[in-house]
Structure 1
Amino acid sequence: MTSAASNATRTRTFFQAAWVKFRKHKLARVGGAVLLLLYLAALFADFLAPYPEIHGFRNFSYAPPTQIHFQDEQGRWTRPFVYGFQIGRDPNTFQKILIEDKSKKFPLYFFVRGEPYKLFGFIPADIRLFGGPAFTTSSEEVAVFLWGADDFGRDIWGRIWYGARVSLCVGIAAALCAIVLGMFFGGLAGFYAGINSRISFGYGNRELYAHLRAARGAALAWMLLKRVGHLALCLGMAYLAYTTLVGYLSTARGLELFIGSLFVAGAAWLLYVLFWTGIRLDPDNVIMRLTEVLSAIPGLLLLVILRALFPQQLSPTATFYIVVAILALVGWGGLARVIRSQILSIREAEYSQAARALGASDTRIIVRHILPQVATYLIVTVSLAIPGFILSESGLSFLNLGISEPAASWGLMLSKAQANGITAFTDRPFLLIPGFFIFLAILSWSFLGDGLRDAFDPRSK
């Protein structure tokens, strides 16, 4: 009787209850399973691809998907094989076409030795999923393209998995960096919001006079220094106006000189106000105004402008880090606003006020009371922000502003279809396969994010 009562009163923890609710979300489980397969395929891309990432066949440009045969000429089932190819011409369009040469038959083997690679980046290996003796020698008369070839004769099947490393990982990396920035600035704005927590830069007249009043003759010295500063500022502005007028009358670039003079005068006035008279800044107002400026600029336009600041001829690794940094810089504003609202409500909670009344420091309140409450929200936010970053990276690569050749990216591969125009829909539909994987990854992340949001929402039943 006692054990039954104890089992009846036993309650689940928060994460156990969240797991139970997540398992009931079928679309979230499907999305998680699809993402698991995609990331495993990206991790073992060298094993799945029959050829290296940059390997191409000069005679197989825009080759259609290779037909794999399972029956011989007599109709008997046999080992999978492909025929050789001969290069011919279409009598109507005079374009180069590939014709199967049935006099040459090449068997297809699984788990064969091919071009060497490094598994996980550091383990030497040469086992590939499928291939054959003729494939390992890079024969120009035979090749296997499960999903066709691109303009350089590179296997689209293999480049899909090579490109998944960039397109899938850039979303997670950019989301984590944006979360760090959004958590820092959003937490700063939310926790220190209010007039009582304003940060002061420099000393105002009253503050500095109070500090110097105890010193003998310091107050008089300060007043004299202040008057000298005012006089120097007025003389400097007058001289600046004189040189501007002379330059405007004597040079052909007077407008540029006038605008530059206004900029210098404004900077001088700002420095004077900041360090002589003192200024108080509310971090909440400063950060929120900055996020409003970021949200006012169209996202794609801001991405293109920031990417244009860096050279185009960079290594794929350097370009990857630059794209991640740009995506995080553009995407942290919205996250900071939501985190600020979360922290504002948690800061006014009873346990936070009780900890402050007991003498707890700001660091202890943030670490022990605020961050645990925001952690579940961050999990949901990351899962929902990743699809947007994946789509943004694909857009940059589609515009040839992201990952560059010879590296692979789904957006970069999709640009091949755009370069072919309507031909990609009529004669070469296999060039649109990267677009399907972009759609699949974004849809799967959206399903997973919805499931996590429903599971971690304490108000859901």
Structure 2
Amino acid sequence: MAQNNNQMDFQEKYLSRGQLIWRAFLKHKLGVGALVVLIVLYLMALFADFLSPYNPAEQSLRHTYSPPTKVYRTYKGQRTKPYVLPSMSYVDKITYERTYKEMLFPRRLVIEKADGTRMTYELGKDGVESFKFSVNRVESIKVNGQWYDVKKSPAITDYFLFNYNENVLNKGVSRFETTSAVAQEMFFKTYKDRFGLTSEYDVEAVAVTEILDSIVIKKDGKFEMIKGKVVDYDYKTYPIKWFIKSWTGKLLWLFPSKLHLFGVDNYDNNQFVKFYIMGADLFGRDVFSRIVFASRISLSIGLIGVFITIAFALVFGGISGYYGGLVDEAFMRFAEIIMSIPGFYLMIMLRAVLPLDLPSTQIYLLIVFILSFIGWAGTSRVIRGLVLSIREREFVEAAVAIGLSNWKVLTRHVLPNTTTYLIVNATLRIPGYILGEAGLSFLGLGIREPQASWGLMLAQAQDVYVITRASWLLIPGVFIFVTVLAFNFVGDALRDALDPRSLG
């Protein structure tokens, strides 16, 4: 039997240590996913002006605690591009709760006159400038099985008629009946003496009838009154667009730009039109825009704080471990004193001794200093232990033997070998600094208005009303949670990847 000997050529490939570490890191799926999340968050902070549809300091008291804006994809039953509608708020006089209702601003009317003829009016065409409606409103209550008219009042509703009553447009007459306890209580208090009512349950039902009386058209600067009813209409919609121009921001802190990633096209500057994808706060400011800008403070504090902490730890730990003696005793005893004080209380104490009326920029720098000061002691002790071990190795003895100074040996051969530990330590410490800033801001000792941080935004949401009625103000807490979790996952993945046993 003939045997075929197949000869296969194998090519050897040698990977550097960095490539081996990256290959091991990619095996950690949670770590890779967390790294992507962190990259997205830091890009969001870097391009905050471009991503924010509104100026984070812009207030709109018409939209206090406005919920996330509803996005529509259909118009009169037809599929269309995404758009939003104007909205306004009012405080219920019975429950004192703020309620938001969407408004329909007509742009085209088809009116049937008393003689049966139809006329079409459209804003901006044939000199038509605006519409107005005059409506008679009749309120009635049902007592002992009979209806009684209790109020007749004309009301000029302008565009707001379209807000709550489309039946008026279609039929000319609309009647709403309700047996809600709120309505019964309201009418009982008003008419109890007139009808001799003993309790709100004597009001069996409430009805509101609205009759379209007249339509006023402003055309070429003149007003024209028309008797009839609206049989068809189109209302204004405000489309959501990509790459839209609105408020002026600074791209990368340097270049003024009005271009933003997305926003609503408010083509007629309607003051009721807003696009809040995450709602609004007490002052009507866009929560999403404030979260994006707040990420600059919350995310940068962690990076800058860790950088300063590592610098302190390398100086104190490296010198202590390499020189030893009295220097080691002095540095390490000081570090132990810092470590003996609980970190959060030390942070509050350091912040409390500083003036409370400082600008946000100075407060930001102080918080970075405070967080760095309380974090370096523990890291310096670990660095000292690593240096004690590294200075006894052969390559360090060889460097000393060829005549290098102690400073060059320490900075070129000893401290660089602590890099692996410092990378892992940094990724695990950054979440602590982010939480530290959030804690200070939550207690009113951190970033102040008009600047924003995730902790400050969360502090403004510590109210029963917010928790029950405006829960979207708690979204910054979600960002803090996701960021801290992502850094921990990346730290775990780096720790595993830097383990020599995982390099293969």
Give the TM-score, by structure 1 length: 0.76
Tell me the secondary structure at the aligned position of residue 452 of structure 1.
helix
Answering whether residue 74 of structure 2 is matched by residue 81 of structure 1, we say no
Once the two structures are TM-superposed, the CA of residue 91 in structure 1 deviates from its matched residue by 5.5
**For residue 251 of structure 2, what is the aligned residue in structure 1?**
119
Contact kept in structure 1, 2:24 and 2:502, CA below 8 Å: no
**For residue 489 of structure 2, what is the aligned residue in structure 1?**
447
Answering whether residue 107 of structure 2 is matched by residue 65 of structure 1, we say no
Once the two structures are TM-superposed, the CA of residue 375 in structure 1 deviates from its matched residue by 1.9
CA distance in 2, matches of 1:132, 1:380: 43
**For residue 141 of structure 1, what is the aligned residue in structure 2?**
272
Contact kept in structure 1, 2:351 and 2:370, CA below 8 Å: yes
2:95 pairs with one of 93, 106, 122: 93
**For residue 289 of structure 1, what is the aligned residue in structure 2?**
333
Contact kept in structure 2, 1:50 and 1:128, CA below 8 Å: yes
Could you tell which deviates more after superposition, 331-340 or 451-460? 451-460
Once the two structures are TM-superposed, the CA of residue 135 in structure 1 deviates from its matched residue by 7.7
Answering whether residue 396 of structure 2 is matched by residue 352 of structure 1, we say yes
CA distance in 1, matches of 2:305, 2:45: 18
1:15 pairs with one of 9, 14, 18: 18
Once the two structures are TM-superposed, the CA of residue 109 in structure 1 deviates from its matched residue by 2.2
**Structure 1 gap ranges (5+):** 195-281
2:359 pairs with one of 310, 315, 322: 315
Once the two structures are TM-superposed, the CA of residue 190 in structure 1 deviates from its matched residue by 0.8
**For residue 340 of structure 1, what is the aligned residue in structure 2?**
384
CA distance in 2, matches of 1:93, 1:337: 61
Matches within 5 A, 1:171-186: 171-186=302-317
Contact kept in structure 1, 2:318 and 2:415, CA below 8 Å: no
1:373 pairs with one of 394, 417, 421: 417
Q: Deviations over 1:71-113 (max 9, x none)?
A: 11x2211121111123323355222322111335322222111
CA distance in 1, matches of 2:88, 2:16: 66
Q: Which aligned runs of 4 or more in structure 1 are off by greater than 4 angstroms?
A: none
Q: Deviations over 1:339-392 (max 9, x none)?
A: 111111101112222332443321221133212211222222211111111111
Once the two structures are TM-superposed, the CA of residue 302 in structure 1 deviates from its matched residue by 0.8
**For residue 404 of structure 1, what is the aligned residue in structure 2?**
448
**For residue 348 of structure 2, what is the aligned residue in structure 1?**
304
Once the two structures are TM-superposed, the CA of residue 130 in structure 1 deviates from its matched residue by 2.3
Contact kept in structure 1, 2:83 and 2:240, CA below 8 Å: yes
The letter for the 1-side match of 2:349 is I
Once the two structures are TM-superposed, the CA of residue 60 in structure 1 deviates from its matched residue by 1.2
The letter for the 2-side match of 1:99 is K
**For residue 162 of structure 1, what is the aligned residue in structure 2?**
293
CA distance in 2, matches of 1:109, 1:13: 47
Contact kept in structure 1, 2:84 and 2:237, CA below 8 Å: yes
Once the two structures are TM-superposed, the CA of residue 434 in structure 1 deviates from its matched residue by 0.3
Give the TM-score, by structure 2 length: 0.70
CA distance in 2, matches of 1:106, 1:298: 54
Tell me the secondary structure at the aligned position of residue 77 of structure 1.
strand
2:474 pairs with one of 432, 443, 453: 432
Contact kept in structure 2, 1:115 and 1:136, CA below 8 Å: no
Change beyond 3 A, Cα 1:90–1:389: same
Tell me the secondary structure at the aligned position of residue 417 of structure 1.
coil
Change beyond 3 A, Cα 1:402–1:427: same
**For residue 395 of structure 1, what is the aligned residue in structure 2?**
439
Matches within 5 A, 1:47-58: 47-58=50-61
Q: Deviations over 1:134-192 (max 9, x none)?
A: 3894x431211111111111000111100000001110000001100111001111111
The letter for the 1-side match of 2:237 is K
Q: Deviations over 1:13-67 (max 9, x none)?
A: 2111111111111111001000011111111111111111211101211111111
CA distance in 1, matches of 2:295, 2:88: 33
Answering whether residue 461 of structure 2 is matched by residue 417 of structure 1, we say yes
Tell me the secondary structure at the aligned position of residue 341 of structure 1.
helix
1:28 pairs with one of 31, 41, 62: 31
The letter for the 1-side match of 2:250 is K
The letter for the 2-side match of 1:84 is P
Contact kept in structure 2, 1:399 and 1:415, CA below 8 Å: yes
Change beyond 3 A, Cα 1:50–1:135: farther
Return the structure number with greater relative CO, CA threshold 8 A, min gap 6. 1
**Structure 2 gap ranges (5+):** 1-7, 106-235
Change beyond 3 A, Cα 1:4–1:400: farther
CA distance in 2, matches of 1:57, 1:184: 51
Number of equivalent positions: 368
Could you tell which deviates more after superposition, 101-110 or 121-130? 101-110
Tell me the secondary structure at the aligned position of residue 311 of structure 1.
coil
Change beyond 3 A, Cα 1:47–1:448: same
Q: Deviations over 1:180-232 (max 9, x none)?
A: 011100111111114xxxxxxxxxxxxxxxxxxxxxxxxxxxxxxxxxxxxxx
CA distance in 2, matches of 1:312, 1:93: 39
CA distance in 2, matches of 1:15, 1:97: 58
CA distance in 1, matches of 2:403, 2:240: 73
The letter for the 1-side match of 2:390 is I
Higher percent of residues as strand:
2
Once the two structures are TM-superposed, the CA of residue 460 in structure 1 deviates from its matched residue by 4.1
Change beyond 3 A, Cα 1:135–1:173: farther
CA distance in 1, matches of 2:329, 2:281: 51
**For residue 131 of structure 1, what is the aligned residue in structure 2?**
263
Could you tell which deviates more after superposition, 322-331 or 376-385? 376-385
CA distance in 2, matches of 1:90, 1:77: 35
